[in-house]
Amino acid sequence: MTRLKVKPICAAIMLMSAYGAPALAQTAAETQAAPVATEQAAPATESSPAAPATPAAPAAPPAPPPQTVPAAAVIQVTGLRQSLRSAEDIKRDAPQVVDAINADDIGKFPDRQAGDALQRVAGVQVGRDRGETSTVIIRGLPDVATTLDGNEIFTAAGRRLSYQDLPVQSIAGMEVYKSATANQFEGGIAGAVNIRLRAPFDNKGFTATGYVEDRVNQTNGSGNTSDKHSPGGGFLVSNRWNTDFGEMGALFDVAVNRDNWAFPVQYVDRPDNVFSVSPDGSATRLGNVGPYAPAAPGDVLGQLPNIGGIYNAGQRERQSVHGAFQWKVNPRLTASAQYLGMGYQGRTGVNYVMSNTTWAPRLTDVVLAPQGGACATPQGAICPILAASAPAAQFGNAYDWDPYTASSTWGQNERTTTHYLNLGLKYNDGPLSVDSQFGYTRSKFVNDTVIVDQQVPGASASVYSYGADGHGGFNAITLPGNSGNALQDSRNYVLRGMVQNWNEQTGSQLQWRTDATYRLGGDGFFTAVLAGLRLSSRKAGYHGAEGHADFTGERPSAASALGPSFQAQVAGLDRLGGAWYGPSSDYLIDNADAVRNLYGAASGRVPDDPGRLFDQRERNATLYLATRWAANPAGIDVKGEIGARVVRLNRELSGMTRIGDQVSNVDLSTYETNYLPSASAVVGWTEDLQSHFSVGKTITRPNFGTLNPALTLVPSTVNVPGSGGAGNPYLEPTRSTNIDATLEYYFQKNGFAQVALFHRDIDGYEQSFTRDEVIDGQVYRVTRPQNSGKGRLRGAEFGVQKFFDFLPGPWANFGAQANYTWIDGENQSRTAFDSDTYTTTPLTGVAKKSYNFALLYEGNGITGRLAATRRGDYVEQIAELPFNQDRVVKAATFVDLSIGYEINDNVSLQFDAINLTKAKFESSLGEFMPRDVRYNPTTYGLSLRFRM
């Protein structure tokens, strides 16, 4: 007999639960509140033959059938309390560890897109970029699978959905699965997110809803930026009818959201050179190749990073069209069809400014960090330089100056289109239920970028890398004989190089799955058998090109080269002296050929580069078999599921790789078979107290982008090395063995309190490595991914949700949601790319402490939420060069407010506020060594919503 080994962290909760079992069993027997668990006559999400036209919540829904959710998912929710209770039912009745958020619950948050709403779920954190949610993280890990009603969904050549593209209006609910059963789609070691789209049978009859909205984005960190308005709107209409051919229902919804945004970033780059600093505050550059020694007695070594900023700004628009049709052919058979189209268009200006002082031959007014831990490096004591002045020094022709003071604009024009079609049949006859789904997805992303650099020759700089708030900035950028800000006079700039690049990424998939459940009936130990088959064919492709051009000899003035509309004043960052001039991103997008011709390049895109062509095809066959069981030992209800999922994957991959100056073709044909067993149990200690226990194996496959071997390079400037990135076609899946245990108490009217413990044994976690490569005689910092060794993650969640209905009067209208997640993780990281030597490091991206808290109100026609979401410190990158220091992101707390008022039964007014705390992203390499500060906007919105 094989003995199951359970990790101590989860064994503790099992032992605690088992210790109390006799008393709990006695209580259950006395109250007769915990009957023996039995299977219902039909799955909760499928209408039984005698089901009424209007859905009703069952008293005790059974565990969900394959890749679906329990009946609470389709309850017609009519208020915040009912919505929360519906989500509680999903949590309580599922065989997995799951948390959910439902239709009205989602609508009470100030969220436009799916990813924004997910941060309201216990144990979920999000990553924000450019004012949007860009990544979803479950219990500290970003490897999350995404499904639409149980079917795989993705954007372009990725494996995951871009959550920004899906508006909350189309969503009936979302479940976050933190443990898996055999019937769930594989692909996320962190967990899975299932998004339920709205369907016509969700409603009793005719329903029409909609909204019009205006948002005002206030840009933090840039006093010159005016407030930006961002309108949005959408509507949904749904109905169902009884006909001679059975009951039918149709639904249609459309949404359009525009966003005028800005996202300022101030960066402190890694140091390239070491200085010998004299007691009088002057310094001499020693170079960037050790060993280092002070140039004179009494000198100490110091390092000064480059200081600069990025003002990201633009306009984006997202549209979605969603249609659904359901047909109940007869009491046993239901057919459905669903289409979802998502579109995105964006025009972005990525506006850089920099004064690269680390290559200056001499510095003055140097301020060093105090001697101590901040000065310790593998190459001896080298202290951070907190502030310095760099007088202009010419080292070559008329344009070769240190510090290199310049601005650069990237004009980016991009778009995404995604089409998803699903056809389904559900059959339910007595003990047998069959659900068959056919899906087709096609998605494409296109990006066209033109980059133009311009320089202020002969400028001197006074900079600081560590100011009063722990970040860097400019004190002054000046030209000889003029004390004004040299960056704010367009006549001071000359044009430097031009880069143009483009890429197209495509993804498509055909998928079919059939899931069957057969309920055994009777009083036996086994209550049901589950089996399923899934077949899919997935294609991903990438192609693109890049071209570079520059002037020889005299450089033209940026102010006059292409007329007055070519340059534009960038609002800039306060800590960098405010505004600066750069090429207009609109001009670069709308007049790309004029810019190309100025540099002597041909009109139109650069010809397709065969070295960047990447194609991959995956064929997947999956079979699973599971059984549900139930028992009543010592009067305690116990039920669960045990099974296994077998996944066979055939992969064909072709591309081209370049390491240094060696170029080679990649043409791989591989296969793998993964066995993913799982077991779960739900223990009903009493009517109100229960536990979930689960153990299983999961995998996450590498993203297609990280498998793409094509090398992309950003060329160097006169004194800044180039950079580049490439994928790794030899990446293996990340594998994990997961153990979960919970103890949950459900209050009588509404709400619950829980503690959850979890453990993950991880193998092959993906990490990025940066190293210098010499390509065509130039040094580039090239980043590539590689599998690491074994890792471990463990942690605990504590949560409570309750309306205060036990309080008198208006206080009963208040409620609260709170959860806290503690995580501890470590990983065996390679010491270098392709190295077989490992060192123990933190897991990247995993915050040790996180929490969500929301104060709720519902009463007198008013609903309100004040919500705080905090993600703790986490390591962003391991051993950053040149001194092998970990880059850490500082904890941040976002506070959002949403208040709604029902003008009447059909019309409501809602006010939303996002990021009231003006939380920002801040990273550093340690004391006195900041890296980035990224300013998230504060957004206020007012919307009018209707329902008929």
Q: Could you tell me if 109 and 898 are in contact, meaning their C-beta atoms sit under 8 angstroms apart? A: yes
Query: Which residue did the predictor score with more confidence, 207 or 56?
Result: 207
Asked whether residue 78 is assigned to any structural domain, the reply reads yes
Q: What pLDDT score was predicted for residue 33?
A: 33
Residue 38 has pLDDT above 70, yes or no: no
Q: What are phi and psi of 279, to 5 degrees?
A: -60, -25
Q: Where are the alpha helices (DSSP H) in 535-612?
A: 585-590, 592-598
Contact 62, 48 (CB under 8 A): no
Contacts of 409 (CB under 8 A, 6+ apart): 349, 350, 351, 352, 451, 452, 570, 582, 583, 584, 585, 588
Q: How many CB atoms lie within 10 A of CB 364?
A: 15
Over residues 852-874, the pLDDT tens digits come to: 899 999 998 899 989 998 999 99
| Mean pLDDT on 420-437 | 96
Domain-located, residue 351: yes
The residue among 924, 768, 893 whose CA lies nearest residue 267 is 924
For residue 739, the number of C-alpha atoms closer than 13 Å in the C-beta half-sphere is: 18
pLDDT tens-digit readout, 717-738: 555 567 888 889 999 999 999 9
Q: Lowest-pLDDT range, 212-221, 527-536, 713-722?
A: 713-722
Q: Is residue 43 part of a domain?
A: yes
Position 341, amino acid: G
Q: How big is the chain, counted in residues? A: 948
Alpha-carbon dihedral angle through residues 59, 62, 67, 72, given to the nearest 10 degrees: 10
Q: Which alpha helices (DSSP H) does 482-630 contain, by range?
A: 585-590, 592-598
Distance CA 8, CA 879 (A): 31
Average pLDDT (174-186) is 89
- The mean pLDDT of 413-440, rounded to a whole number, is 96
Residue 363 has pLDDT above 80, yes or no: yes
Task: Kindly tell me if the per-residue pLDDT of 304 is higher than 60.
Answer: yes
So what's the pLDDT on residue 186?
86
If you average pLDDT over residues 19-27, what whole number do you get? 35
Is the pLDDT reported for residue 104 higher than 80? no
1 in a domain, yes or no?
A: no
- 2 occurs within a structural domain: no
Binning pLDDT at 50, 70 and 90, where does residue 106 land?
low
> What is the Cα–Cα distance from 606 to 21, expressed in whole angstroms?
71
| Alpha carbons 818 and 135: distance in angstroms, whole number | 22
The rounded distance, in Å, linking the Cα atoms of 343 and 742 is 40
Q: Which amino acid is at 736?
A: S
Nearest to 687, CA basis, from 68, 192, 92: 92
| Residue 879 domain boundaries | 8-300+307-947
DSSP 765-829: -EEEEEEEEEETTEEEEEEEEEE--EEEEEEEEEEEEEE-TTS-GGGGGEEEEEEEEEEEEEEEE
63-77, 172-186, 856-870: range with lowest mean pLDDT: 63-77
> CA angle 347-348-350, nearest 5°?
160
DSSP 482: B
Q: Does the residue 682 lie in any domain?
A: yes
State yes or no: pLDDT of 81 exceeds 60: yes
pLDDT at 766: 87
How many structural domains comprise the chain?
1
**Between 59 and 286, where is the model more confident?**
286
Within 10 Å of residue 855's Cβ, how many Cβ atoms? Answer: 15
Q: Is residue 838 part of a domain?
A: yes
Local confidence band at 268 (pLDDT 50, 70, 90 cut-offs): very high
Higher pLDDT, 53 or 271: 271
Segment 623-648 shows an average pLDDT of 95
Q: Is the pLDDT of residue 75 over 70?
A: no
The CA distances from residue 892 to 413, 469, 819, in Å, are: 31, 15, 16
CATH number, domain of 441, equals 2.40.170.20
How do residues 772-783 score in pLDDT, each as one tens digit?
Answer: 888 888 888 888
Residue 96 lies in a domain: yes
Q: Which pTM value belongs to this model? A: 0.86
Cα–Cα distance measured from residue 895 to residue 870, given in angstroms and rounded to the nearest whole number: 9
Percent of the chain past pLDDT 90, that is, above it, reads 61
**Tell me, what's the pLDDT at 717?**
58
pLDDT at position 479, please?
94
- Say if CB 528 and CB 613 are below 8 A apart: no
Per the CB < 8 A criterion, the answer to whether 781 and 772 are in contact is yes
| Angstrom distance (rounded) from CA 88 to CA 744 | 11
User: pLDDT digits over 131-152, tens only?
Assistant: 787 788 887 777 788 899 999 9
pLDDT band at 54 (very low <50, low <70, confident <90, very high): very low
pLDDT at 617 over 90: yes
Question: Taking 80 as the threshold, does the pLDDT of residue 27 lie above it?
Answer: no
Between 626 and 188, the more confident residue is 626
In this predicted structure, what is the pLDDT of residue 416?
96
- pLDDT of 32 > 60? The answer is no
Most confident option among 189-203, 533-547, 857-871 = 533-547
Amino acid at 582: G
25 has a pLDDT exceeding 80: no
Average pLDDT, the chain: 86
Q: Which range (4-18, 786-800, 808-822) has the least confidence? A: 4-18
pLDDT at residue 63 tops 50 = no
The answer to whether residue 741 scores a pLDDT higher than 50 is: yes
- In one-letter notation, the amino acid at residue 863 is T
